[in-house]
């Protein structure tokens, strides 16, 4: 799960010491770099210092406007008179997670915050609902699938998936068939649709119209307007990824 770190060198060092799999960091030393990273990579959480570059919070507000569904954690130096009004303004924007350094940024605290935010991520919701369905898979296949679902787009083909799991393509396909599951390619495509659902709530979203129609039965515009993230997850799990339902449909 990719975490943007738009923070100072010292804060980044502290984050690196706290972050463990399934999280990974993408560093941004400027606000322009932060925007480019969010637009170009599957960032699911952003840890930002409102005082980075002396911006005094304006750039964080800009991120909130451009990417309203992206979870933001403020990570900033210990409270000063100039920081207080900045944090007040951030609170009015709906940003409530704040970590002050060096008094509150123990690695355990940082890990806990990231885990809390990850609980809301689309990939985590999907994995949580698929725990039972994925249980029949061998551990090596399940681990590779879960890792790939946390980073939509990282694995595009069955060949790539099988290579990561160190099995051949035919063996991989047979295991998924025995479990009553779609192919890894279809499951990962469904995960990308859920990720796109979140992006479609943001200013720079792409549509992925074909997959939206296949896995949700809606156009991207309809998906954005008519489904919450939980509803989109439930529709994919209930209508496409649930083995029992797929088996019944095949038998009818």
Per the DSSP assignment, residues forming a β-bridge with 24 are 2
- pLDDT score recorded for residue 37: 94
How many other C-beta atoms can be found within 10 angstroms of the C-beta atom of residue 200? Answer: 19
List Cβ neighbours of 120 (8 Å cut-off, separation of 6 or more). 71
Task: State the pTM of this model.
Answer: 0.56
Query: What distance in Å separates the CA atoms of residue 69 and residue 202, rounded to the nearest whole number?
Result: 7
CA nearest neighbour of 123 among 246, 201, 237: 237
- pLDDT score recorded for residue 207: 45
- pLDDT score recorded for residue 202: 53
Per the DSSP assignment, residues forming a β-bridge with 77 are 101
- pLDDT score recorded for residue 99: 87
* Domain 122-251 architecture: Orthogonal Bundle (1.10)
**Strand, coil or helix: what is 229?**
helix
Domain-by-domain residue ranges, the chain? 2-118, 122-251
Would you say domain 2-118 falls under CATH 3.40.50.2300? yes
Mean pLDDT by 10 residues, the chain (252 residues): 92 91 91 92 89 81 84 82 76 78 87 78 74 89 84 72 89 90 82 68 52 72 70 77 56 50
């Amino acid at each position: 799960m990719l975490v943007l770190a738009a923070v100072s060198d010292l804060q980044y060092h502290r984050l690196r010491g706290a972050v463990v799999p399934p999280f990974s960091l993408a560093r941004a030393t400027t606000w322009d770099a932060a925007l480019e990273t969010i637009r170009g990579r599957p960032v699911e959480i952003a840890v930002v210092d409102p005082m980075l570059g002396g911006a005094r919070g304006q750039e964080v507000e800009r991120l909130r406007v451009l990417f309203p569904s992206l979870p933001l954690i403020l990570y900033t130096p210990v409270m000063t008179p100039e920081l207080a009004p900045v944090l007040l303004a951030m609170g009015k924007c709906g940003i409530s997670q704040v970590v002050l350094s060096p008094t509150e940024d123990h690695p355990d605290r940082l890990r806990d915050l990231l885990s809390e935010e990850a609980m809301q991520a689309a990939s985590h919701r999907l994995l949580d609902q698929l725990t039972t369905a994925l249980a029949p898979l061998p551990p090596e296949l399940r681990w590779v699938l879960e890792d790939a679902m946390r980073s939509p787009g990282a694995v595009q083909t069955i060949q790539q998936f099988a290579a990561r799991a160190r099995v051949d393509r035919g063996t991989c396909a047979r295991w998924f068939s025995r479990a009553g599951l779609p192919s890894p390619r279809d499951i990962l495509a469904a995960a990308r649709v859920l990720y796109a659902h979140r992006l479609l709530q943001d200013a720079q979203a792409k549509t992925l119209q074909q997959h939206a129609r296949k896995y949700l039965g809606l156009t991207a515009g309809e998906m954005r307007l008519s489904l919450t993230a939980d509803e989109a997850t439930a529709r994919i799990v209930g209508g496409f990824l649930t083995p029992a339902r797929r088996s019944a449909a095949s038998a009818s």
